[in-house]
Structure 1
Amino acid sequence: MSPSPPKLNLLVVEDEALIAQELGDTLQDLGYNVLATCYSYAEAQQALAQYQPDLVLLDINLRSANPTHNGLALAQQLREQPAPPPFIFLTAYNDLDTIRQATRLRPSGYLIKPANDAALFAAIQTAIERGITQPQAPLPDPSDPTGTPDYFFVKAGLQIVKLNWNDVASLEAGKNYVTLRAPALQLVHAIRGSLAYVLDQLVPAHLRGQFLRVSRSVLLHRQHITSHDEQSVYCGSTCFENGHLADRQLSEPPSV
């Protein structure tokens, strides 16, 4: 069995156990690795000293006896690091004063709980870009769950690389996961869930029509299909069973 591909490492700071568990499960479903879940200010400080996360998700209210021991203080400590990781506030606070305090710390995102999967995925991907590129990308709009960019970031060895959705040749459903393959870049990425979930929640709306169903468990990007017959569909040298693809689908313009 080949080793699992590396994943982006996230640190979660959330004081409510049920919310933290649900958030951790969602992040793992989206293909991320949760290094640790911190339920208090002290635990977060210890984890930040121990790990080197690619991104940190911060709640603001950590219900500490000391009111200054909150997510804002942790964000300030992150900012003081020589090479701080990007961080996103994920909080129930939506009042103007808190938002102003938070934005002074230059977060890579500010999401109001509960954030749906698409908004969370888009915010994390944009935050990773903000941590890599200059000038910084704009903050994602937390009220717009359709703001998924045309690309996403994955781990390739020790590096974080940008993978365009148009470079993904296939979406292949397994028992619990969908495997995304970009053979030209030799990249493989796994997301827990169904094909419908990945296509409807994570793939940008204007690119969904590029992925054609060739069987019950496989979607192929039309630009990567090199030939097909009644039995098989080919993406270069890779062969897939043809259970659904017809000539007319390739000749039709992509739906949007």
Structure 2
Amino acid sequence: MNTPVKILIVEDEMLIAANVSLELTSLGYEVIGIIPRGEEALLHIRENQPDILLLDINLKGNLDGIEVATEMQKEFDIPVVYLTANTDDAHFNRAKETRPYAFISKPFKKKDLQRALELTLTRLASEKEEDSSNEGIEEEFAVFEDALFVRFQDKMVKVPIAEIQYIEADRNYCRIHSLNKEYLLVLSLKEMEDKLPKNHFIRIHRSYIVNISQITEIATTHLVVNQKALAISKGFKKDLLKRIQTV
């Protein structure tokens, strides 16, 4: 590696963190910090962004590792690799919502750490190639008063806004879920959000935009659209409740 990949370790067991740091350094990575608390990690990331965030799930303090990843992803698009002794379904399902690049179980082996990071870098390189190949493609969709025209099988088709249920991030793509069909578009969810009519759609999670008229239930951590439960991030829930009150 010409320029070492910068990794931030967020781990509250300092012996483990020191061991991880030594292994990373021996593998040629640059450790830019060892942080024991989630709140401190968020401050550190804002000042010195790493290339990869190596994050323990079960942190002490106000934020666990999953909450740290969720908060970080509101501002930055940094790959997350979880280092954890928690392998139960509840933790895994929560962590999965943050779309991590890998999981490393504690106690870890150097080979596990090495392979997880190599896979992460391979995936990052692949995503950059996809970004480059998508430059200059034709417009993926157009917005009209009551419908979107979206690219589907080399043609533009009309999708009434009333039939769109939600839109889901799918790596560098986004997937429109309508009543009768799904449409995969070559653009990010953020690009989609910027163009959608705000009176019909709202972002509820880094992975989801919903059609407000399709919401049938709002719970503490999720909402329901056509019997499909979609996670709500804390940072978006306040805006959602405001919008619901004014509709």
Report the TM-score when normalising by structure 1: 0.47
Report the TM-score when normalising by structure 2: 0.49
